[in-house]
Amino acid sequence: MSNKFNTLTSQAPATVDQEKNNSGSLRPPTLMIDLLFGALMLFAFQMGYVDKPVTPHNVELPTTPDKQKKKAKAIYTIIPIIGKAGKWQFKVGDGRILSADGIKKEVRKKKQTPVMIFSHTTDLQSYLEAEQELRRYGLKPGLAVQNKKGR
């Protein structure tokens, strides 16, 4: 007979210490609880007293002097229209219909900021598509919503 153990059928004999360690204990880990409460008390004492009054300090926010303020740019209103073949065109205040390139030239010439006017029922996707067309030409248009007809 050989001295080899068959690992499938036989097991090494268990010692008494292993059986005691494997049996569960209902005793809470008091050392960990003591450490937790000790850390909690340490932070609580470092917070200070809650009854102390709060002293406000004057804080100055940085602002620009009046002489450095920029003048507000004039607004160049445009109404986006889907033209032929699904290409965006823009109606300007005097009734002309221009492409995005035409809007770019007008805005640069007049030194104005383009603002697209939409109806309050227009979906967001239409605004994004029209804005993207102007952004291709380097413009950053604003958005205005027309609540009632004529305003």
pLDDT at 109 over 70: yes
**Is 1 inside a domain boundary?**
no
**Is 84 inside a domain boundary?**
yes
**Is 151 inside a domain boundary?**
no
Contact 110, 78 (CB under 8 A): no
Q: Among residues 93, 95, 129, 128, which one has the least CA distance to residue 114?
A: 93
Question: What is the count of structural domains for the chain?
Answer: 1
> What is the span of the domain harbouring residue 89?
73-146
**Is 112 inside a domain boundary?**
yes
**Is 109 inside a domain boundary?**
yes
What is the rounded CA–CA span in Å between residue 110 and residue 7? 92
**Is 38 inside a domain boundary?**
no
Supply the pLDDT for residue 28.
Answer: 72
**Is 39 inside a domain boundary?**
no
Cα diameter, the chain: 110
**Is 132 inside a domain boundary?**
yes
> Which tens digits make up the pLDDT trace of 34-84?
888 888 888 777 766 666 666 666 766 666 666 656 666 688 888 888 877
> Which tens digits make up the pLDDT trace of 82-107?
877 888 888 888 888 888 889 899 88
